[in-house]
Amino acid sequence: MIEDKTPQRTSLAQLGEFGLIDHLTKHFGVSQESTLKSIGDDAAVLDFKDKKILVSTDLLIEGVHFDLAYMPLKHLGYKAVVVNVSDICAMNAKATQITVSVAVSNRFPLEALEELFAGIALAADEYKVDVIGGDTTSSQKGLIISITVLGEADADEIAYRNGAKENDLLVVTGDIGAAYMGLQVLEREKQVFQVNPNSQPDLDAYTYLIERQLKPEARKDVRTLLHALEIKPTSMIDISDGLSSEIIHLCKQSGVGCNLYEDKLPLDPQLINVCEEFGIDSTTVAINGGEDYELLFTIKMEDFDKIKGNPNFTVIGHMVPESEGIHLITRADTKIPLKARGWNALSEES
Amino acid sequence: MIEDKTPQRTSLAQLGEFGLIDHLTKHFGVSQESTLKSIGDDAAVLDFKDKKILVSTDLLIEGVHFDLAYMPLKHLGYKAVVVNVSDICAMNAKATQITVSVAVSNRFPLEALEELFAGIALAADEYKVDVIGGDTTSSQKGLIISITVLGEADADEIAYRNGAKENDLLVVTGDIGAAYMGLQVLEREKQVFQVNPNSQPDLDAYTYLIERQLKPEARKDVRTLLHALEIKPTSMIDISDGLSSEIIHLCKQSGVGCNLYEDKLPLDPQLINVCEEFGIDSTTVAINGGEDYELLFTIKMEDFDKIKGNPNFTVIGHMVPESEGIHLITRADTKIPLKARGWNALSEES
Sequence-distant (≥ 6) Cβ neighbours of residue A42 within 8 angstroms: B56, B87, B88, B90, B91, B161, B236, B237, B238
Which tops the pLDDT comparison, B349 or A148?
A: A148
Q: Worst-scoring range by mean pLDDT, A173-182, A195-204, B121-130, B284-293?
A: A195-204
Of all residues in chain A, what percent carry a pLDDT higher than 90? 78
Can you tell me the ipTM of this complex? 0.89
User: Apex CA B212: angle with CA B345 and CA B68, to 5°?
Assistant: 70
- Nearest CB to A46 within list B53, B62, B141: B53
pLDDT > 80? residue A236: yes
Q: Looking at residue A199, what is its pLDDT?
A: 78
Spell out the long-range contacts of B306-314 with Cβ–Cβ below 8 A and sequence spacing 24 or more.
B306/B229, B306/B230, B306/B231, B307/B171, B307/B229, B307/B231, B310/B225, B310/B229, B312/B173, B312/B174, B312/B221, B312/B222, B312/B225, B313/B171, B313/B172, B313/B173, B314/B171, B314/B172, B314/B173, B314/B264, B314/B265, B314/B266
Chain A positions touching B88 (Cβ under 8 A) are 42-43
Interchain pair B146, A43: CB under 8 A: no
pLDDT > 90? residue A124: yes
Choosing among A15, A17, A41, which should be mutated to test the B contact, i.e. which has the most B CBs within 10 A?
Answer: A41
Q: How far apart are CA B185 and CA A243, in angstroms?
A: 54
Q: Which domains does chain A have, with CATH numbers?
A: 12-157 (3.30.1330.10), 169-349 (3.90.650.10)
Annotated binding site of A for Mg(2+): 42, 56-58, 87, 135, 238, 241
- Nearest CB to A48 within list B53, B103, B237: B53
Q: Which helix (H) or strand (E) holds A329?
A: strand A326-329
Q: How far apart are CA A103 and CA A150, in angstroms?
A: 21
Chain A positions touching B90 (Cβ under 8 A) are 42-43
For residue A19, name the pLDDT band (cuts at 50, 70, 90): low
- Region A88-116: mean pLDDT is 94
Interchain pair A45, B62: CB under 8 A: no
Segment B222-236, tens digit of pLDDT: 999 999 999 999 999
- Nearest CB to A137 within list B61, B101, B236: B61
- Region A129-158: mean pLDDT is 94
- Region A186-202: mean pLDDT is 84
- Region A36-48: mean pLDDT is 93
Q: Give the gap in angstroms from C-alpha A146 to the nearest C-alpha of chain B.
A: 7
For residue B284, name the pLDDT band (cuts at 50, 70, 90): very high
Chain B positions touching A138 (Cβ under 8 A) are 61, 64
Helices (H), A90-131: 110-127
Let me know: does B123 contact B81? Beta carbons within 8 Å: yes
